[in-house]
Amino acid sequence: MAELIQRFGKAQSFYDGYTRKGIEIETTHYCPGCGHGTIQKLIGEAIDDLGIQDRTIFLSPVGCAVFAYYYYDTGNIQCSHGRAPAVGTGVKRTVKDAVVISYQGDGDLAGIGMTEIIHAANRGEPITVFFINNAIYGMTGGQMAPTTPLGQITQTTPFGRDVARDGRPIGMVELMNALVPPVYIERCSVATSQGIIKTRKAIRKALQAQIDGIGFSFVEILSPCPTNWGMSPVKARSWMEKEMTHHFPLGLVRDTISSSTGKATSIPYPYLDDAQLVELLTGSAAVPLLKDDIPQVTHKVKIAGFGGQGVLSAGELLATCGMTEALHVSWLPSYGPEMRGGSANVSVILSDQEIGSPLVDHPEVLLAFNGPSLDLFEPKMVSGATIVVNSSIIQRQVERTDVNVYYIPATDIAKNEGLLSAANVVMVTAYLLISNALPLETLVRCIPLVLRKKSFLDTNIAIVNKTEAYVKAHPMEKQ
């Protein structure tokens, strides 16, 4: 063995002895006549010649090459079945200078991992994928692969691959070629010496593309599996020439390396240091707690109406007011598909005590923006509760006699100021005035914190003033 190694040489990027293998550390685990040894040696020599041994991170798949880490003296990651392109994405986006090699078989890449390879290719991840196609599942003992030719007998196609049942063998090079981002796509074969020389060139070209930061490259390599094909190594090679190249034509499919200027560069966002990060997160919207003398109150509020009436924003405004007054607050919305269907409601609690349940099953306050909301929540109100009714929209009177009711044409007041969407500000203002829950100055101070469109600030403040005038002119009648 030592003589043979000396005679044919060994890639520097291979370990001297395969100690990770545990036993027989001078031989590989591959069967006689298997193509993996040939291909991995070509890759090892390329790593040497390109001077990338330290930078290389080799991704082992699940399949016969699962033990590639026995051999390569490079960074190694063993991946779950088919997911190496996703793992490679995570690696490459962490260590951009690494040379990431994803080495995958046909079951791994074209079967279980089809999603991952397609999307990694379509993102143009600057990694190199070597796809070893031997038309069969080797490690599990010779079952049908996505690339198994029609008629081929395997352990799971004992009568041959049947097109009606199993479909046709998948051409991965052709699929890759349907995507725009890959910069290099070629199919080679190690069936012949000539093929091995071409494969050697393709491997180097694909790696060089990654070294140059140009983009995603994909080399499919047809490879013999004499053991599972039930052939001698010599016969396996002639079968490859005859059968496999018929299904999987060899050749270069795309090479845009020289015309590529590199992967489309993202808009640069510089890495923020600690102080800048804290500034980004807290920034101008930081809300200081203003006072120590906290009002002794608990308000359990339900705000409800149509989607688009600003129900959730009204709740946010109220909660923000409470927060700046150093109250405990919570805001819990209805959410999900129903939000897109029309009705919306939110539970808001303001309290001088720590808030237990943020759910408001039996509201003490209801801001009813529309009829269905009043119908839904009126029966659930606690006795003595307060209901603010948007009388622009809700035609009926509140039926319960054990609650306080205030009717205000909120939508009309907002519309008169030219901002229909600010009916929510009217409702919150009216509530704060009739309940004396919080000072109006707090509301005015908090509107800019919650308002999405800053250009409407003045109009919103005007609406607060109009509402105040209305409430003064129409005091609430106590029950």
Partner 1 sequence: MNCRLMKGNEAAVYGALMGGCTHFFGYPITPASEIAQAAAYYFTASGRTFLQAESEISVINMLYGAASAGARVMTASSGPGIALMGEGLSYLAGARLPAVVIDMQRAGPGLGNIWPEQSDYNMVVKGGGHGNYANITLTPASAQEMFDFTKKAFQIADTYRMTVCILSDAYIGQMMEPVEISGPVLHGQRKEWAVYGDKASRKNLISSIYMSAPLLRKHNEDLQQTYLQVAQDITDYEEISVADAEFVFVAYGIVARICHSVVQALRQQGIKAGLLRPKTVFPFPTAALGAIADRNIPLGVVELSNGQMANDVDLAVKGRVPVFRYLTMGGETPTVRELLTAVKCDLAESKKGGPHG
Of 93, 242, 291, 474, the residue at the interface with partner 1 (CB under 8 A) is 93
Q: Is 129 in the site for partner 1 (CB under 8 A)?
A: no
Q: Is 330 in the site for partner 1 (CB under 8 A)?
A: yes
Of 24, 361, 375, 399, the residue at the interface with partner 1 (CB under 8 A) is 361
Whole-angstrom distance, CA of residue 277 vs CA of residue 180: 36
Alpha helix (H) residue ranges in 310-396: 311-324, 337-341, 371-377
Nearer to partner 1, 164 or 286 (CB): 286
Q: Are 203 and 46 in contact (CB under 8 A)?
A: yes
In sequence order, the 6+-apart residues with CB closer than 8 A to the CB of 188 are 195, 198, 199, 202, 219, 220, 221, 222, 250
Q: Is 335 in the site for partner 1 (CB under 8 A)?
A: yes
Token pair for residue 72? 């390569």
Nearer to partner 1, 61 or 226 (CB): 61
Of 358, 384, 418, 475, the residue at the interface with partner 1 (CB under 8 A) is 358
Q: Is 180 in the site for partner 1 (CB under 8 A)?
A: no
Of 76, 140, 177, 391, the residue at the interface with partner 1 (CB under 8 A) is 76
Least separation, in Å, of the C-beta of 22 and partner 1? 6
Residue in the block written with tokens 């040379």:
99
Type of residue numbered 251: G
Handedness of CA 352, 358, 362, 364 (dihedral sign): positive
Q: Is 377 in the site for partner 1 (CB under 8 A)?
A: no
Q: Is 155 in the site for partner 1 (CB under 8 A)?
A: no
Nearer to partner 1, 76 or 459 (CB): 76
Nearer to partner 1, 140 or 391 (CB): 140
Of 42, 43, 46, 91, the residue at the interface with partner 1 (CB under 8 A) is 91
Q: Are 57 and 215 in contact (CB under 8 A)?
A: no
In sequence order, the 6+-apart residues with CB closer than 8 A to the CB of 267 are none
Q: Is 382 in the site for partner 1 (CB under 8 A)?
A: no
- Binding-site size, partner 1 (CB under 8 A): 74
Q: Which of 224, 244, 245 has the alpha carbon at shortest distance from 235?
A: 224
Whole-angstrom distance, CA of residue 156 vs CA of residue 165: 12
In sequence order, the 6+-apart residues with CB closer than 8 A to the CB of 184 are 205, 206, 209, 215, 217, 218, 219, 254, 255, 256, 257
Stretch that binds partner 1, among 165-173, 183-191, 249-257, 331-339 (CB under 8 A): 331-339
Q: Is 385 in the site for partner 1 (CB under 8 A)?
A: no
Least separation, in Å, of the C-beta of 377 and partner 1? 14
Least separation, in Å, of the C-beta of 469 and partner 1? 29
φ, ψ for residue 193, nearest 5 deg: -60, -40
Q: How many of the other CB atoms lie within 10 Å of CB of 219?
A: 23
Q: Is 73 in the site for partner 1 (CB under 8 A)?
A: yes
Least separation, in Å, of the C-beta of 332 and partner 1? 5
Q: Is 320 in the site for partner 1 (CB under 8 A)?
A: yes
Q: Are 423 and 310 in contact (CB under 8 A)?
A: yes
Q: Are 186 and 207 in contact (CB under 8 A)?
A: no
Of 79, 240, 374, 387, the residue at the interface with partner 1 (CB under 8 A) is 79
Stretch that binds partner 1, among 93-101, 199-207, 248-256, 433-441 (CB under 8 A): 93-101
Q: Is 69 in the site for partner 1 (CB under 8 A)?
A: yes
Q: Is 381 in the site for partner 1 (CB under 8 A)?
A: no
Pairing relationship of beta strands 404-408 and 298-306 according to DSSP bridges: unpaired
Rg (the chain; Cα; Å): 35
Q: Is 95 in the site for partner 1 (CB under 8 A)?
A: yes
Q: Is 342 in the site for partner 1 (CB under 8 A)?
A: no
Stretch that binds partner 1, among 189-197, 231-239, 249-257, 359-367 (CB under 8 A): 359-367
Interacting positions 3-62 with partner 1 (CB under 8 A) = 20, 22, 53-57, 60
Q: Are 405 and 445 in contact (CB under 8 A)?
A: no
Q: Is 220 in the site for partner 1 (CB under 8 A)?
A: no
Q: How many of the other CB atoms lie within 10 Å of CB of 288?
A: 8
In sequence order, the 6+-apart residues with CB closer than 8 A to the CB of 417 are 459, 462, 463, 466
Q: Is 425 in the site for partner 1 (CB under 8 A)?
A: no
Q: Are 124 and 98 in contact (CB under 8 A)?
A: no
Interacting positions 254-293 with partner 1 (CB under 8 A) = 269-272, 274, 276-278, 280-282, 285-289
Of 332, 419, 462, 476, the residue at the interface with partner 1 (CB under 8 A) is 332
Q: Is 108 in the site for partner 1 (CB under 8 A)?
A: no
